[in-house]
Amino acid sequence: MPATALLPALTEPIRARLQYTFNGQRTGIPEWVSDLEKGDDPGFFGPGSAVWAVHGGMSTIPAGVRALLVQALHPGALAGVHDHSRYREDPLGRLAGTIRWIFTVSYGSQEAATHASNWVLRLHEKVTGSYDDRHGVTHPYAANDPALLRWVHLAFADSFLATALAWGTPIPGGADAYVREWAIAGELMGVQDPPRSAAALRAQLDAYDSDGVLERSARTDEVVRFLKRPPLFPVLRAGYPVLFDGAVGTLTPRHRELLGLELPHLGPITLPTRPATSVMLAGIGALLGPEPAAAKAAKVRRARLGVVDEPAA
């Protein structure tokens, strides 16, 4: 085999499995991504937005792991996942569904973003039940309960911001701009008055802990074990622990403590997680390309509507 053909022959199986992991297709562009070219408005966000900067990079991969870890600290949110989610049987399907919502809100028209969010809320209507807290007190839960919707939004925004600050490109307007812009997504999902600054985001997250809501349980440990070793394709398993450790490294010490997680260490020496994660994300980016197909579709829609976007800096 010629040397020029050797590298693609080696990397294509990895690229195909990465693509399937994230969107359920080994080749081609999913129909829902192509549909983002449709619509009669530019969308809530554009190429110069903080949302595009944060959601357009490879830092979203450890962000997704981190967000699930943080969400698992709320016993009500965790009960809904435990009782109703098929994450154990179909983790890739659940991941692809989440990515579809994120990218539709980030890159789709306002109509598409609103429709996608309403669809998720309708799915949530049947996610109800009860759970016992660490004191043995029984609490009802509903996925569309305002407190749970807020917690999921906070965990998401905090995680995607933390990993973008660690491995992403500069955020236009900084951390406050991302939190302020992504508050739109929170409102679409029924969150009342979501935080609009990084300080407000941190304060609201901390309040759940100070109010005694967050806890570690056997269900929490089950989620952590699953996220440590998810059922990935064999070719992807070797690199995943690097991404998991990177996600854990961006957690607050308090959240790591609650989750029972530690930073990797060699004897008394704590090992750095960011450099290895940076190398891994750069490799993934080289395989998948520098820009999501959803962003390209959004640019087609915006150009059709006559929106003039400044070239990326």
Q: List CB contacts of 268: < 8 A, sequence separation 6 or more.
A: none
Query: What band does 130 get if pLDDT is binned at 50, 70 and 90?
Result: very high
Residue 210 binned pLDDT confidence (cut-offs 50, 70, 90): very high
Which amino acid appears at position 8 of this protein? P
What pLDDT shows up at residue 16? Answer: 80
Please state the φ and ψ torsions of residue 130, each to the nearest 5 degrees.
Answer: -145, 160
Q: What is the pLDDT of residue 297?
A: 97
pLDDT of the residue at 92:
66
Looking at residue 145, its pLDDT comes to 93
Is 267's pLDDT higher than 90? no
C-alpha span between 282 and 286 (Å, rounded): 6
Range with the lowest mean pLDDT among 43-47, 69-73, 285-289?
285-289
Given a cut of 50, is residue 7 above it in pLDDT? no
The owner of tokens 């302020």 is 180
Q: Greater confidence, 103 or 6?
A: 103
pLDDT of residue 1: 44
What are the tens digits of pLDDT across the range 187-206?
999 999 999 999 999 999 99
89-98 long-range contacts, CB within 8 A, separation 24+? 91/226, 91/230, 91/231, 92/20, 92/21, 92/24, 93/24, 95/21, 95/22, 95/64, 96/22, 96/23, 96/24, 98/64
Pairing mode of beta strands 128-132, 138-142: antiparallel
> Over the stretch 44-68, which tens digit does the pLDDT of each residue have?
999 999 999 999 999 999 999 999 9
pLDDT classification of 12: cutoffs 50, 70, 90: confident
Tell me, what's the pLDDT at 142? 94
- For the entire predicted model, the pTM comes to 0.92
pLDDT of residue 9: 54
Q: Is the pLDDT of residue 231 over 50?
A: yes
Interatomic CA distance for residues 292 and 289, integer angstroms: 7
Amino acid 109: pLDDT: 98
pLDDT at res. 277: 96
Report pLDDT digits (tens) over 133-171: 888 889 999 999 999 999 999 999 999 999 999 999 999
pLDDT digits (tens, 9 = 90+) for 234-255: 888 889 999 999 999 999 999 9
